[in-house]
Amino acid sequence: MDKFEEFEGTVSQKPFARGSKSEHEAVVLQTDTGDLVLRRAGANPFRDTELEQLVGKKIRFRGQKLDNILHVTDWTETP
């Protein structure tokens, strides 16, 4: 992972990894091309209160995408 990209959409919470030991409510970015699970380096992958505060807002994220997970480096709220 070395390519940074930008993605914009609305942040929400959705079930992730249903039926597994890792099942939890993930913070996701809903985009026109699909949902991306949001993760910050060093943060708890199951509960990130900083990202949870963004739920319901339209945000532009910058980070590295790996499959359906966006490893977030920074973000800005958009109108």
Residue 15 pLDDT exceeds 80: yes
Radius of gyration of the chain (CA): 12
Q: In whole angstroms, what is the distance from residue 22 CA to residue 69 CA? A: 14
DSSP letters for 8-69: EEEEEEEEESTTSTT-EEEEEEEETTEEEEEEETTS-SS--HHHHTTTTSEEEEEEEEETTE
Look at strands 69-77 and 34-40 and give their pairing.
Answer: parallel
Q: Tell me, what's the pLDDT at 6?
A: 96
Nearest CA among 11, 50, 58 for reference residue 30: 11
Q: Tell me, what's the pLDDT at 45?
A: 87
Task: Name the band, by pLDDT with cuts 50, 70 and 90, for residue 79.
Answer: confident
Which domains does the chain show, CATH number per domain?
5-77 (2.40.50)
